[in-house]
Amino acid sequence: MGKTFHKILSCVILILLCFLLTVPRLGKSAERNEECLKQEVISFFYCDYDNDGNEELLTVEADSLEQFTEEGKPYGNRICVYEDYSFDSNGSLIPGTVQYTKDKSALKPLRIHAGDINGDGITEIGIVTYKMTQFHPVMAERPFFYAIDGDNLVKVWLGSRLSRPFKDFTLNDIDGDGIDEIVAIEYLEDKREVFAVYDWQGFGFDMKCQSEPYGDISFTHDRHRKCDKLTVLADVEGILELSADETHVTVKKGELDK
């Protein structure tokens, strides 16, 4: 009995040793892939953030889908950038090789997008966070912007808030000057909603113009990549296009509604 047991034990140890010696060790990139792909994608955005001609995939990923803001929105733990991506037969997004990953659990990131907010030719990564700040100690969504520099996320602007409580915002070169503005849907005190456009002013954003008030407005353009034209729904007027100059936000009938 004892000899048989020892023979079986020896065989098991031998098999384990063979397995460990033959399995290839994970490289750094593969380890990163393992780390990211076990998580849930909360938000994603396609863009060529490093201007090399190839589009990357930016994601906010979560350890679980059980983390929510008070408004019921899921938030994540990690920011990832993938060199490539594909789709399965059901059209589901499959992230490719991880280029960058950073644990940002403290920010409670809800959404990721990107644009050149300050006109220096470098794409900033916009992260909508859910946190308190020193001067506004309540949990709220806040627009933070970073530049990716090697393995670091370098702070560009960490916005405490916009002029008013906002429902949503996006980045778009709405005035055609080559620099992306923050275009926000904000609440007035009487609960009506307006589009507000914010320009970079060297150290932060200033609101430069806003639209007429509406009862209920929302963005309808593709939120996963940069768009040439912002399209919106405002009350019951159908698809509308948004543009702006220095003093006015113009809302007009969109192509989709003609």
Interface positions with Ca ion (CB under 5 A): 48, 50, 52, 54, 56, 116, 118, 120, 122, 124, 173, 175, 177, 179
Nearer to Ca ion, 41 or 179 (CB): 179
Which residue, 173 or 186, is less far from Ca ion as judged by CB? 173
| Location of structure tokens 């002029």 | 163
Nearest approach in angstroms of CB 183 to Ca ion is 10
Closest approach of Ca ion to the CB of residue 176, in Å: 6
Please give the structure tokens belonging to residue 100: 């960058």
Toward Ca ion, which CB reaches closer, 56 or 193?
A: 56
Residue number, 76 or 115, with CB nearest to Ca ion: 115
Q: How far is the CB of 241 from Ca ion (least distance, A)?
A: 16
Q: Quick one: 168 or 175, whose CB is closer to Ca ion?
A: 175
Other beta carbons within 10 angstroms of residue 113's beta carbon come to: 24
Name the residue nearer to Ca ion (CB basis): 103 or 120: 120
- In whole angstroms, how close is the CB of 24 to Ca ion at the nearest point? 28
How far from the centroid of its chain's Cα atoms is residue 60's Cα?
Answer: 6
**CB-wise, 19 or 203, nearer to Ca ion?**
203
The least CB distance from residue 29 to Ca ion, in Å, is 16
CB 42 within 8 A of CB 58: no
Q: What is the 3-state secondary structure (H, E, C) of the chain?
A: CHHHHHHHHHHHHHHHHHHHHHCCCCCHHHHHHHHHHCCEEEEEEEECCCCCCCCEEEEEEECCCCCECCCCCECCCEEEEECCEEECCCCCEEECCEEEEEECHHHCCCEEEEECCCCCCCCEEEEEEEEEECCEEEEEEEEEEEEEECCEEEEEEECCCCCCCEEEEEEECCCCCCCCEEEEEEECCCCCEEEEEEEECCCCEEEEEECCCECCEEECCCCCECCCCEEEEECCCCEEEEEECCCCEEEEECHHHC
Q: Which residue has the tokens 């809302």?
A: 251
Tell me the closest approach of the beta carbon of residue 156 to Ca ion, in angstroms: 7
Q: Cβ of residue 155: shortest distance to Ca ion, in angstroms?
A: 13
